[in-house]
Amino acid sequence: MSQTQKNEPRVAELELENELLREKIRFLEGKLYHRSSEARKAPGPEEQDSLFDLEEEEKPDDESEPEQEKVTYTRRKRGKRQPIPDHFERVEILHDLSDEEKVCACGTTRKRIGEETSEQLDLIPAKVQVLRHIRPKYVCPCCESSEETETPVAIAPSPKSMIPKSLAGPGLLAHLINAKYTDALPFYRQEKQLARLGVRLSRTTMSEWSQKAASRCRELVDLIQDDLLASNYVQIDETRVRVHGEQDRKNTTNSYMWVMRGGLPNEGPRTYLYNYSPTRAGETAKRLLSGYQGLVHTDGYSGYDFLGRTEGVVHLACWVHARRKFDETIKANKKGSKKTSHAQRVLSLIAKIYKGHKAMAEHGLTGEKRLDYRREKIDPQLKKLKDLLETLLPKTPPESKLGKAVRYMSNRWRQLVACFEYSEVRLDTNLVENAIRPFVIGRKNWLHCGSPEGAAANGIWFSIIETAKANGQCR
């Protein structure tokens, strides 16, 4: 065997390594400089599925004058100003002429014939007030004069407070909690706002109030959890959070907020549960779903694999997460390459599957009609997609973006297809990911939780507020 023949395997190995490194570089450059949206043009019915790009058509020798095409468009009308709601208080301000201006140049006094009105929105800044609770004391004059019996004093009971023996009135406490967890305004910014109003209130005190008030709402969150576990459809996901003061852990170590959404997509009531955990271990998901029976929709994280072995639970996988990896393949490879063409073919089939699933939901198909529609419109696309994955699986390097995408979808094929067995579910976990977004916005503002107790309080307040918002109880 010649030296060249001996070096051929090594050369092929280096070429593959070089190709994978270039792929990673293109993907990272795309993350930095290109658009992050995954939206693409939906394939039309006339488009032909192809594994490879078609060659350009040859131009004719005699190029004729191009035909002119008439383009028409509609100019968008400027939106009208929305009227101010009638329930707002109206304060009338009269702008009248002076007595001299009411006299005409001829010397006759002008008479009033009408008026013109216009309205402006005004805002009264926050008003700080002190609630002074007065409880008169009463005593019996007869008993008071007697030396034999102790004189009893009658007084009204102390008013109930969310936080006993604190300065926090109900309005102030509601304002602080709403500003942080609904408007993502950290306590240190609220501290500055209150200082401008003359109120000296430290962020430490606000944090303590938040934790104490949250502990009083624990029973309400337990009811939300009971209602969530009683539903037959749950989506679950998790997101990182920095928590200071955790035992035997650095402040830079990631902890996690687990988010669950219960209830069918288009039916109510809907419940949201946020639960802080120091780790991302699957034991947390197992604890949160203890005793649950029904459909559970998740992404491809291995911590959810126990669901497939849990009696009474149907594990569904997310099509968006599977689709995303093929979109990353396109961004990491050159246009027109085989890997890009394969990924585009997969995305085209997924788009048609989504279109068929959306049509079933829009027409409200159930029972035999739904089964017939699926056999006719969706099952052929699923078969094409499955055949394509089986074709690519042995030919694609597992370390490449395309290889990872193919294996990800192939390993979760059973959970992906299971979504079509239930008419009421979605194909993705976008609903619970949307519920994570308010927490992520807040996390970008307050950066970390000061203690594990504070992180747990965050979960309680987000559970209450997001559940209320989802059921139309607050905005």
Asked if residue 434 and residue 313 are part of one domain, the reply reads yes
- Write out pLDDT tens, residues 206-247: 999 999 999 999 999 999 999 999 999 999 999 999 999 998
What's the pLDDT score for residue 109? 93
pLDDT top residue among 415 and 13: 415
What's the pLDDT score for residue 5? 62
What's the pLDDT score for residue 68? 67
Classify residue 357: in a domain, yes or no.
yes
What's the pLDDT score for residue 259? 97
What's the pLDDT score for residue 67? 62
Residue owning tokens 């009811």: 223
Classify residue 210: in a domain, yes or no.
yes
Q: pLDDT band at residue 25, thresholds of 50, 70 and 90?
A: confident
Q: Record the pTM.
A: 0.80
- Is a pLDDT exceeding 50 seen at residue 56? no
What residue numbers bound the domain in which 473 lies?
A: 217-317+430-475
**Residues, the chain:** 475
- State how far the Cα of 15 lies from the Cα of 193, in Å rounded to an integer: 61
* Residues 296/307, Cβ–Cβ less than 8 Å: yes
What's the pLDDT score for residue 282? 92
Asked if residue 347 and residue 278 are part of one domain, the reply reads no
Q: How is 172-237 classified by DSSP, letter by letter?
A: HHHHHHHHHHTT---HHHHHHHHHHTT----HHHHHHHHHHHHHHTHHHHHHHHHHHHHSSEEEEE
Classify residue 135: in a domain, yes or no.
no
Q: What is the mean pLDDT of residues 305-310?
A: 92
SS3 of 333, please?
coil
The tokens for 34 are: 């290109």
DSSP code for 374 = I
395: buried, middle or exposed (CB in 10 Å: 19+, 13-18, 0-12)?
A: exposed
Classify residue 292: in a domain, yes or no.
yes
User: Is it true that the peptide bond before 269 is cis, omega within 30 degrees of 0?
Assistant: yes
Asked if residue 444 and residue 373 are part of one domain, the reply reads no
Asked if residue 254 and residue 343 are part of one domain, the reply reads no
Q: Which of 96-100, 131-135, 422-426 has the lowest mean pLDDT?
A: 422-426
Asked if residue 401 and residue 331 are part of one domain, the reply reads yes
Single out the residue of 102, 10, 23 nearest to residue 400, CA to CA.
Answer: 23
Classify residue 89: in a domain, yes or no.
no
Q: pLDDT band at residue 46, thresholds of 50, 70 and 90?
A: very low
Asked if residue 411 and residue 367 are part of one domain, the reply reads yes
What is the side-by-side order of every strand in the sheet holding 313-317?
A: 271-277, 254-262, 233-242, 294-298, 313-317
Q: Among residues 216, 251, 277, which one ends one of the domains?
A: 216
Q: Which of 52-66, 249-263, 272-286, 447-461 has the lowest mean pLDDT?
A: 52-66
Average pLDDT along the chain: 86
What's the pLDDT score for residue 65? 56
- Is a pLDDT exceeding 50 seen at residue 50? no
Contact residues for 192 (Cβ-Cβ < 8 A; gap 6+): none
- Write out pLDDT tens, residues 379-437: 999 999 999 999 999 988 888 889 999 999 999 999 999 998 887 888 999 999 999 99
What's the pLDDT score for residue 298? 95
- Number of structural domains (the chain) is 3
- Which residues in 400-426 are b (16+ Cβ under 10 Å) and which e? bbbbbbbbbbeebbebbbbbbeeeebb
Give the distance between the most distant pair of CA atoms in the chain. Answer: 127
- State how far the Cα of 236 lies from the Cα of 12, in Å rounded to an integer: 43
Asked if residue 460 and residue 329 are part of one domain, the reply reads no
* Residues 426/297, Cβ–Cβ less than 8 Å: yes
- State how far the Cα of 132 lies from the Cα of 141, in Å rounded to an integer: 28
Classify residue 25: in a domain, yes or no.
no
- Write out pLDDT tens, residues 335-385: 778 888 899 999 999 999 999 988 888 888 777 888 888 888 899 999 999
Asked if residue 434 and residue 408 are part of one domain, the reply reads no
- State how far the Cα of 10 lies from the Cα of 118, in Å rounded to an integer: 82
- State how far the Cα of 209 lies from the Cα of 86, in Å rounded to an integer: 37
- State how far the Cα of 20 lies from the Cα of 102, in Å rounded to an integer: 86
What's the pLDDT score for residue 52? 39
What's the pLDDT score for residue 49? 44
Asked if residue 355 and residue 211 are part of one domain, the reply reads no
* Residues 378/353, Cβ–Cβ less than 8 Å: yes
Backbone angles phi and psi of 257, in degrees to 5: -110, 115
What's the pLDDT score for residue 55? 39
Q: 254-262 and 271-277 as β-strands: parallel, antiparallel, unpaired? A: antiparallel
111: buried, middle or exposed (CB in 10 Å: 19+, 13-18, 0-12)?
A: exposed
- Is a pLDDT exceeding 70 seen at residue 453? yes
Asked if residue 423 and residue 366 are part of one domain, the reply reads yes
What's the pLDDT score for residue 1? 59
pLDDT top residue among 123 and 50: 123
What's the pLDDT score for residue 148? 63
Asked if residue 393 and residue 472 are part of one domain, the reply reads no
- State how far the Cα of 26 lies from the Cα of 18, in Å rounded to an integer: 12
For residue 156, list its beta bridge partners: none
